[in-house]
Amino acid sequence: MERVRVLVIDDSALVRKLLSAMLASDPAIEVVGAAPDPLVAREKIKQLAPDVLTLDVEMPRMDGLTFLENLMRLRPMPVVMVSSLTRQGAEVTLRALELGAVDFFAKPASDLADSLAAGAAEICAKVKAAARARPRPRATVRRLEVAPRLSADAVLPRSQTPGTRGGSPIIALGASTGGTEAIRAVLEAMPPDAPPIVVTQHIPAAFSGPFAARMDHCSAMRVCEARDGQPIQPGHAYIAPGSQHLLVMWDGARHVCRLHDGPQVNRHKPSVDVLFRSTAASVGAATVAALLTGMGDDGARGLLELRQAGARTLVQDEESSVVWGMPGAAWKLGAAEEALPLERIAARLLALASRPAAVAATAAIH
C-alpha cells in the first residue's frame, strides 16, 4: 500500500518540525517536504507532487486563504488547514472550507509541543482521510494513544420503545469531514417556515459558535448554537456546541434541546449517534434524518435506530461526498432508504417531512 505523501506549509519552523515528526510517526504517511510560505510551497508542489497539503493561515508574502483560492482554481488537491484555536481562527478556517479545504486541525495558542503531540492521532487521521477526498473548488514524537471507543450507550441507553410523540416533524442532520459546506447547502435551500432542524457536526468548541452564526447569515431559517433547555421550534435550526452532545428530549409539553457533557462517543463529542438515538426515542416516526459527508462511521448505527423507529432516512451519495465514510457505513447497514446527491437532499427532506408521521411509520423495519 502506497503511503500518503504530505507537504507541510507553515511559517513557524517549530510547527513545521513538530507537524512533520507527528505525521511521519504514522507508517501510512510520508512527509515529502516542508515550506515556510506559499511561494516556496508552490515550487515544492511542482517538484514533489504531494498527495495532501497541511496549510497554515497567517504567513508572510502570501496568506493561506489567497494561496488556497489560487490552488483550488489552478490545481485542486486535498488541503488540511492548520488554524489557531481562536474565534478569529475559526472564522478564517470556515472561509477556507468554503474555498475547498477538506478539513482542519486546530492549533493551540500555547503549550504547542505538548498540545500538538496530544492531537497526533487526529491530524494523522485527517490527512489520511483527505488523501481519499474529492477536492471541490469553491520535538520527540510520542507514541500515539488512541482513546477507547464508546457507543451512544455511554450517554443515553437505547429505549426499548421508539418515540411516538405527536405528528410534528423534526429534521435531524449529522456530518463530519466536508460537513460544514454540506450543511450550508441544505440550510440555504430551506424556507423560513421549514420544520425545526437539529444538527451535529464534528467541530471544536471554539468553532461551533462562529459556524452557527455563519449559517444564520446564509439561511432563511434562524440558526443558532443550541442551548440547554431551548424549545425546538419551526423555522429554527440548532447546531450542537463543539464540546457537548446535543439531544432532543420531551419535557412534558414540547421538544427541547438538551446538552450533555458526557464522554466521547465513537471518539467524538458531539456525536451524531447520540443525537439520532435521542431523536428516535423522543420523536420517533416523525423524524426525517440525513447523514452527510464525513470520515468514520459515527451516526450510522443511530440512523439505523431511527429507521427502525419508523423515521424516514437518507444519506448523501458517494459522488457528492467529500468523504463517504459515515454515509457509506450507514448505507451498508441498511440504515437509509435513499442515497441522494447533496443538491437534492434539502428538497427531499422537506417532502418527507410533509408526510404525516402515521404514514411514515409504515416504513419502519421490523
Q: Nearest 10 degrees: CA dihedral of 228, 234, 239, 244? A: 30
pLDDT of residue 361: 44
Q: In what order do the strands lie in the sheet with 52-56?
A: 29-35, 4-9, 52-56, 79-84, 103-107
Could you tell me the pLDDT band of residue 130, with boundaries at 50, 70 and 90?
Answer: very high
pLDDT at 143 > cutoff 60: no
3-class secondary structure, 116 = helix
- What integer best gives the mean pLDDT of the chain? 88
Do residues 289 and 173 touch, judged by C-beta distance below 8 A? yes
Rounded distance between C-alpha atoms, residue 342 and residue 324, angstroms: 12
At residue 5, the pLDDT reads 98
Confidence of residue 87 (pLDDT cuts 50, 70, 90): low
User: Which phi and psi (to 5°) does residue 92 adopt?
Assistant: -65, -40
Q: Is the pLDDT of residue 147 over 70?
A: no
**Residue 47 — φ and ψ, nearest 5°?**
-75, -40
Please name each of the domains of the chain with its CATH number.
4-131 (3.40.50.2300), 160-363 (3.40.50.180)
pTM for the whole structure: 0.84
What's the confidence (pLDDT) of residue 1?
A: 65
Closest CA to 204 of 229, 176, 230, 168: 176
Distance (Å, whole) CA 143 – CA 121: 10
Q: Read off the pLDDT band of 140 (50, 70, 90).
A: very low
**pLDDT beyond 60 at 68:** yes
Closest to 123 in 3D by CA, of 206, 4, 263: 4
Structure confidence at residue 57 as a pLDDT band (50, 70, 90): confident
In this predicted model, what pLDDT tens digit does every residue of 188-222 receive, in sequence order?
999 999 999 999 999 989 899 999 999 999 999 99
Confidence at 139, pLDDT banded by 50, 70, 90: very low
Q: At what angle do helices 300-308 and 326-333 cross, to 10 degrees?
A: 40
Which residues carry out catalysis? 176, 202, 298
Q: What is the mean pLDDT of residues 230-250?
A: 97
Lowest mean pLDDT among 124-138, 190-204, 302-316, 332-346: 124-138
pLDDT at 121 over 80: yes
Among all chains, which residue has been given the C-alpha cell 417531512? Answer: 353
For residue 180, give the nearest of 152, 146, 160, 204 by alpha carbon.
Answer: 204
